Amino acid sequence: MPWTTNSRVVEFRTKNAPFDVFVGTLDGWRRHLSSRNASVLSLFGFLTIFPLLLVATTILGFVLEGNKELQDDIINGALDNVPVLGEQLADDPSALTGSVGVLIIGILGALWSSTKAFVGLQRALDDVWEIHVDNRAGLAVQRGRALIGIVIIGGAQIVSISIVALVNHAGLPGPSRALLMLVTIAINIIVIAAMFRHLTSANTSWNDVWPGAILAGVIFAALQHFGTAIVQKITTDAGETYGNFALVLGLITWIGLLAIAGLLCAEMNAALMWHRDGSLDAVQDA
């Protein structure tokens, strides 16, 4: 018998709405096997993030070719918090250059791995909303949604990098940098809300997905900020002998934390609806 059905837990859930949503979120995580789905997303996310960043930085290389000052602003600000990539660009700023061959390889790699990741995300979100397997989108629709997701994520990445670079280039004071963090969080929230709403066969509304998207946006911004520190901590503890293996472990850990945070916030959205309506029927009638 799961702890969520314990008589004391049930009694307290009926009296305390936040606790009911909290328990519902954890119970949904257990019942929907979201930990397994997070592991799948971590794997394909690991294979996806670098092709996407490769495309983004290559495009920026074309745009900013010949403008060394602005390139330095991008490396020292916008890409500094990206594990591994930021450190490598700091050591060799000339790597931020435009290359047609690199762009093609990046696009092909991103298309293969990221479609896998986005299809996995769709299945995970369908599990969260308890959509019956026969009512889920077919393979063609899933792939189409995945391509849309790639465009949204890739576009948001370029916009985010560009905004940070422009702020650094302008040399704005501290309060402006705090505002920049809020802009980054806002971009995260909008992108995550779009993913939560459209990468599922559930008939969700914007009101259904905003709570989890807002929380996930804040968590993602924090993980982006501390991502490099997380990876460096793991690789430093591993030493030189296991450094390469630890690097992979550190990156997967970082991406895994993003996947866990995202799915937990999606589970929270479902728990909020369950608390409000007593079921998920409203979104299952897609």
Give per-residue pLDDT as tens, 143-153. 888 878 777 77
First to last CA, the chain: 32
Flag whether 9 is in a domain: no
Flag whether 14 is in a domain: no
Where does the pLDDT of residue 179 fall: very low under 50, low under 70, confident under 90, or very high at 90 and above?
Answer: confident
What is the rounded average pLDDT of the residues 104-112? Answer: 71
What is the rounded average pLDDT of the residues 271-277? Answer: 91
Three-state SS for 211-249 is HHHHHHHHHHHHHHHHHHHHHHHHHHHHCCCCHHHHHHH
Flag whether 180 is in a domain: yes
Highest mean pLDDT among 81-85, 101-105, 211-215 belongs to: 211-215
**Which domain covers residue 103, as residue numbers?**
22-128+162-284
Other residues' Cβ atoms within 10 Å of the Cβ of residue 243: 12
Where does the pLDDT of residue 36 fall: very low under 50, low under 70, confident under 90, or very high at 90 and above?
Answer: very high
Flag whether 154 is in a domain: no
Where does the pLDDT of residue 5 fall: very low under 50, low under 70, confident under 90, or very high at 90 and above?
Answer: confident
The tally of CA atoms less than 13 A away on the side-chain side of residue 274 is 21
**Count of the separate structural domains present in the chain:** 1
Tokens of 169: 């280039």
Cα–Cα distance between 176 and 220 in angstroms, integer?
Answer: 20
User: DSSP string covering 69-120, please?
Assistant: HHHHHIIIIISTTSTTHHHHHHH-GGGS---HHHHHHHHHHHHHHHHHHHHH
Per-residue model confidence (pLDDT) at position 225: 73
Backbone angles phi and psi of 257, in degrees to 5: -65, -40
